[in-house]
């Protein structure tokens, strides 16, 4: 790993432990024992990632994070909160103040390194994307010069006599050769991805009415390769209306955009999709991470309130998970978590969402689901988990169980957090009553 890490913690033992863990990985680490010193430090040398304690005198971690996020040059710096508290409200507040992750004390070395590695890589990728975007913006200012030396293919459609012509470069970009294909408006539409065809037809209809157009859409080449293109065009008014456009085939890392061109933005879109997946997915289990889960949950909550629909939430915690780690090792714990998510997904609908909200804590969002239905889903998960073995690479077999709290939306709820808290309270009751069971919160 490569990166510049700032640790902020008023507990000397925690500060030293984190420092030693990260330095052993070759990371450059700075340490501060209070919020004021941390703010001065980030001004002098912006870090790549911050590990920030919540409970500190004078200025707690939430306030420190808010100050950091207010600074333009630090807005994208990832902040991982660290705390000995497991209170849901603290965790939610941590993400609301700008944190990207949450680590609970006492630290597990493997977890600390995995989370730090994930967010360092994501931060570096975001920085690279920003650099590419800034390069693109600069290149756009040189549009007129670049157009004279760029490989451009153009097409011209004379609406008055329905004639259509295009350059050899246009053929090449679309996967044809001038000798084996005759391009016209209909064949161009045939190359458009079926899911985007209606939008492109609508665009052409607007162009016929004299309106400029601009949109992104996908095309399918004859060899089934898919490309994403960004197109712009306009009507040239003369004796007869004529649509003029150009197509540009760019190298993989070329990000130049031009007026009146269709630009191949496939490489950029793939990077955006990868970034989105990385930002929304738990690195270990493949389910939604906490940020993604809460974002989707807020959307479903607002939709349920607007249309009067049901919405249920399950809070799940693996019973005695620490014993699995202690007895069999963290690799066994990771295998157990992965298998648990597989069991959940096997029980759920496509519209449901599993999210990892803590180390061994998970939440499940069940849109348009009443309490009784949600309780049945929870019971199926509970029974499935307790009936399945976890087979380890050394052939050891683990059995584990899960405790689940269920909560449903109430007319008095004004935000999703209140449902989550009720589910968490029901989960606590399930664990208090002996674990491996489902408790439904009262509305």
Residue 297 and residue 293: Cα distance in Å, rounded? 6
CA 323 to chain centre: 31
**Could you tell me if 39 and 79 are in contact, meaning their C-beta atoms sit under 8 angstroms apart?**
no
User: Cα dist. 14→9, 21, 53, 113, 356 in Å?
Assistant: 7, 11, 10, 15, 25
**Could you tell me if 313 and 420 are in contact, meaning their C-beta atoms sit under 8 angstroms apart?**
yes
Residue 353 and residue 288: Cα distance in Å, rounded? 7
Residue 188 and residue 247: Cα distance in Å, rounded? 12
Least confident of 61-75, 147-161, 240-254, 386-400: 240-254
Contacts for 61 with CB less than 8 Å, ≥ 6 apart:
8, 35, 52, 53, 54, 55, 81, 83, 94
Q: What is the pLDDT of residue 100?
A: 87
User: Average pLDDT over the chain, rounded to whole?
Assistant: 84
Q: What is the pLDDT of residue 140?
A: 56
Q: What is the pLDDT of residue 276?
A: 81
Give the pLDDT confidence of 204-217 residue by residue, as tens digits.
777 667 677 788 88
Q: What is the pLDDT of residue 441?
A: 92
Q: What is the pLDDT of residue 148?
A: 37
**Could you tell me if 74 and 42 are in contact, meaning their C-beta atoms sit under 8 angstroms apart?**
yes
Contacts for 8 with CB less than 8 Å, ≥ 6 apart:
31, 32, 33, 34, 35, 38, 50, 51, 52, 53, 56, 61, 64
Architecture of domain 281-440: 2-Layer Sandwich (3.30)
Domain positions in the chain: 4-140, 142-272, 281-440
Pairing of strands 261-264, 163-166: unpaired
Q: What is the pLDDT of residue 135?
A: 78
Q: Mean pLDDT throughout 362-391? A: 96
Q: How many CA atoms lie within 13 A of 90 on its CB side?
A: 16
Contacts for 209 with CB less than 8 Å, ≥ 6 apart:
none
Band of residue 180 on the pLDDT scale cut at 50, 70, 90: low
Residue 361 and residue 379: Cα distance in Å, rounded? 17
User: Cα dist. 347→165, 384, 387 in Å?
Assistant: 55, 9, 14
**pLDDT at residue 426 greater than cutoff 80:** yes
Band of residue 382 on the pLDDT scale cut at 50, 70, 90: very high
**pLDDT at residue 143 greater than cutoff 50:** no
Band of residue 129 on the pLDDT scale cut at 50, 70, 90: confident
CA 182 to chain centre: 43
Q: What is the pLDDT of residue 153?
A: 63
Q: What is the pLDDT of residue 191?
A: 85
The fold of the 4-140 domain, in CATH, is Rossmann fold (3.40.50)
Q: Mean pLDDT throughout 400-427? A: 95
Q: What is the pLDDT of residue 95?
A: 85
Q: Mean pLDDT throughout 183-187? A: 71
N- to C-terminal Cα separation, the chain: 48
Band of residue 159 on the pLDDT scale cut at 50, 70, 90: low
Q: Which of 51-55, 99-103, 421-425 has the highest mean pLDDT?
A: 421-425
Give the pLDDT confidence of 79-97 residue by residue, as tens digits.
999 888 777 888 888 888 8
- Which helix (H) or strand (E) segment holds residue 366: the answer is strand 361-367
Band of residue 248 on the pLDDT scale cut at 50, 70, 90: very low
Q: What is the pLDDT of residue 210?
A: 64
Contacts for 146 with CB less than 8 Å, ≥ 6 apart:
139, 256, 258
Band of residue 252 on the pLDDT scale cut at 50, 70, 90: very low
Residue 2 and residue 31: Cα distance in Å, rounded? 17
Give the pLDDT confidence of 228-243 residue by residue, as tens digits.
887 776 666 554 444 4
Least confident of 24-38, 120-134, 244-258: 244-258
Residue 442 and residue 75: Cα distance in Å, rounded? 41
> For a pLDDT cut of 90, what percent of the chain falls above it?
46
Q: DSSP secondary structure string, 229-263?
A: EEEEEEEEPSSS-EEEEEEE---TT-----TTEEE
219: left (phi over 0), alpha (psi -120 to 50) or beta: beta
Please name which of 371, 365, 370, 342 lies closest in space to residue 352, comparing C-alpha atoms. Answer: 365
Q: What is the pLDDT of residue 413?
A: 92
Band of residue 141 on the pLDDT scale cut at 50, 70, 90: low
Band of residue 254 on the pLDDT scale cut at 50, 70, 90: very low
Strand ranges inside 137-279, DSSP E? 152-158, 163-166, 213-220, 226-236, 242-248, 261-264
Residue 108 and residue 106: Cα distance in Å, rounded? 7
67 versus 185: which is more confidently predicted?
67
Supply the angle between the helices 290-307 and 416-432 in degrees, to the nearest 10.
110
Decide which of 3.30.70.260, 3.90.960.10, 3.10.290.10, 3.30.450.20 is the CATH code for 142-272. Answer: 3.30.450.20
Predicted TM-score (pTM) above 0.75: no
- Taking 3-state DSSP, the helix, strand and coil percentages for the chain, each rounded to the nearest 5, stand at 45, 25, 30
**Could you tell me if 340 and 362 are in contact, meaning their C-beta atoms sit under 8 angstroms apart?**
yes
> For a pLDDT cut of 70, what percent of the chain falls above it?
85
Contacts for 306 with CB less than 8 Å, ≥ 6 apart:
none
Please name which of 167, 178, 179, 182 lies closest in space to residue 262, comparing C-alpha atoms. Answer: 167
Q: What is the pLDDT of residue 221?
A: 86
Buried b or exposed e, range 332-369, using 16+ CB within 10 angstroms: bbbbbbebbbbbbeebbeeebbbbbbbbbbbbbbbbeb
């Amino acid at each position: 790993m490569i990166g510049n890490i700032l640790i902020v913690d008023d507990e000397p033992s925690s500060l030293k432990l984190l420092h030693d863990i990260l330095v052993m990985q070759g990371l450059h680490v700075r340490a501060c024992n209070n919020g004021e010193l941390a703010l001065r430090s980030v001004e002098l040398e912006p870090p790549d990632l911050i590990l920030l304690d919540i409970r500190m005198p004078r200025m707690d971690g939430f306030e420190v994070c808010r100050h950091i996020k207010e600074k333009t040059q630090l807005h994208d710096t990832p902040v991982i909160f660290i705390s000995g508290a497991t209170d849901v409200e603290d965790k939610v507040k941590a993400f609301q103040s700008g944190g990207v992750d949450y680590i609970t004390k006492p630290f597990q070395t493997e977890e600390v390194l995995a989370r730090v590695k994930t967010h360092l890589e994501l931060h570096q990728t975001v920085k690279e994307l920003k650099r590419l975007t800034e390069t693109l913006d600069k290149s756009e200012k040189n549009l007129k010069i670049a157009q004279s030396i760029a490989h451009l293919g153009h097409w011209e459609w004379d609406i008055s006599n329905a004639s259509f012509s295009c350059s050899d470069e246009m053929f090449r970009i679309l996967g044809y050769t001038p000798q084996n294909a005759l391009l016209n408006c209909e064949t161009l539409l045939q190359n458009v991805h079926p899911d985007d065809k209606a939008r492109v037809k609508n665009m052409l209809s607007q162009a016929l009415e004299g309106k400029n157009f601009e949109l992104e859409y996908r095309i399918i080449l004859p060899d089934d390769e898919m490309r994403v293109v960004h197109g712009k065009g306009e009507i040239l008014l003369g004796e007869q209306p004529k649509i003029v456009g150009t197509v540009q085939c760019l190298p993989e890392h070329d990000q130049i955009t031009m007026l009146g061109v269709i630009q191949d933005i496939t490489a950029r879109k793939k990077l955006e999709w990868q970034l989105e997946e990385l930002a929304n997915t738990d690195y270990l289990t493949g389910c939604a991470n906490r940020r993604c889960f809460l974002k989707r949950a807020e959307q479903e909550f607002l939709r349920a309130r607007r249309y009067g629909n049901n919405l249920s939430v399950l809070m799940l915690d693996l019973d005695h998970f620490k014993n699995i780690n202690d007895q069999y090792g963290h690799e066994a714990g990771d295998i157990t978590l992965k298998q648990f998510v597989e069991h959940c997904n096997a029980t759920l609908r496509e519209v449901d969402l599993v999210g990892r909200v803590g180390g061994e804590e998970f939440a499940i969002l069940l849109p348009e689901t009443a309490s009784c239905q949600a309780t049945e889903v929870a019971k199926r998960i509970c029974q499935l988990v307790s009936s399945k073995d976890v087979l380890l690479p050394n052939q050891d077999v683990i059995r584990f169980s899960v405790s689940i709290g269920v909560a449903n939306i109430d007319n008095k709820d004004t935000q999703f957090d209140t449902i989550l808290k009720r589910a968490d309270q029901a989960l606590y009751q399930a664990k208090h009553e002996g674990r491996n069971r489902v408790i439904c919160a009262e509305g």
